[in-house]
Amino acid sequence: MRTQVVIIGSGPSGLLLGQLLTNAGIDNVVLDRVSQDYILGRIRAGVLEEGMCQLLDQSGAGARMHREGLPHDGFELTFSGRRHRIDLHGLTGGKRVMVYGQTEVTKDLMDHRAATGGVSIYEAENVAPHDFDGASPYVTYEKDGKTHRIDCDFIAGCDGYHGVSRKSVADKGLEEFERVYPFGWLGIVSEVPPVSHELIYANHERGFALCSMRSTTRSRYYVQCALDDRVDNWSDDAFWDELRRRLPAEAAEKVTTGPSIEKSIAPLRSFVAEPMRFGRLFLVGDAAHIVPPTGAKGLNLAASDVHYLFEGLQEFYGEKSNAAIDAYSQRALARVWKAERFSWWMTNTMHRFPETGRFGQRMQEAELDYLSQSEAASRSLAENYVGLPY
């Protein structure tokens, strides 16, 4: 088989890139080692920047997001028993975010790809990129007991932190930067109405908490926990009790409890691998960078990578120019590091760090108090939260 672009990974970034390429008349094949059902069974984040929403519209897969998604004009910070709203819409000149689950984004992109004739190959084992340092790269994989080969012009590695793409360039000058945080997030999903129509980020002496949602009837809640904690240690009742302890009394009283339909503990890390281009192989999304979820940047950073790479490929095929492809890594990383900084700041401001003790807690409260009184500080937070321009 031959195509122009092989995309390894069929998460949102791979599918979004594939659809943009298909719309532009650029042939592509998407490969994934797991099944569609497995991918759609993963529950992930769901706060979308305007840039991500615009890319979904550009791909043609944004209609259901506009029907069912929840536009948010702000969110709340709570600390020292106080509540302070960040007016995203007012502070950024009319920008907002959209709450719409990553699983739903993936499903919309899968459905649109199938409707427009895109080629996707699932349960492809032992996927491997080859000869991407030269002019004739190709990808091999195994399926149904046979080895297959796809020749191509370019390879997009959209296969996540544990995927083969970054592993394939580990010995080619890749530099990695990492910060592992000394805690995790215990999260649950429950079929209950959210405590507020906007997200609540809580700083508390007992630890961080987040009140989020996937819809008007499905809530997603988190509490900071120890890295070595176990889900088995937390009954649903214990989780709800701890969540309410970390919220101001007015918010805690409005929490509707119910059985969890998903419960898990996620570690937090900041990670960047650079460069993001190796010959004709490009790293995209989680293959190149991870952010702690505090700033809601993971999926959105993957979308900005897709934007820069699509621009480069479109220019290469349409104008026979390498300029945008050659600039891909530099352009993507400039935005990546700004989002990493913001996510790092949000994480350091909102969480309890064991090594800083009571002094650290008071410093966080002072920072949040300043933020609540300074329009300039609030505007900076809002501008980063809604997403910096591409």
Catalytic residues: 72, 201, 293, 297, 385
Each as own residue / partner, the long-range contacts of residues 111-114 (CB below 8 Å, 24 or more positions apart, any chain) are 111/61, 112/19, 112/59, 112/60, 112/61, 113/15, 113/18, 113/19, 113/22, 113/30
d(CA 94, CA 73): 8
Q: Are 331 and 301 in contact (CB under 8 A)?
A: no
Burial of 86 (0-12, 13-18, 19+ CB in 10 A): buried
Cα 249 to its chain centre, rounded Å, is: 31
Q: Is 202 helix (H, G, I), strand (E, B) or coil?
A: strand
CB atoms within 10 A of CB 248: 17
d(CA 292, CA 340): 8
Burial 146-163 (b: 16+ CB within 10 A, else e): eeeebebbbbbbbbbeeb
Helix, strand, coil share (%) of the chain residues, nearest 5: 40, 25, 35
DSSP track, 23-40: HTT--EEEE-SS-HHHHH
Q: Are 213 and 256 in contact (CB under 8 A)?
A: no
Which of 99, 300, 107 has the alpha carbon at shortest distance from 215? 99
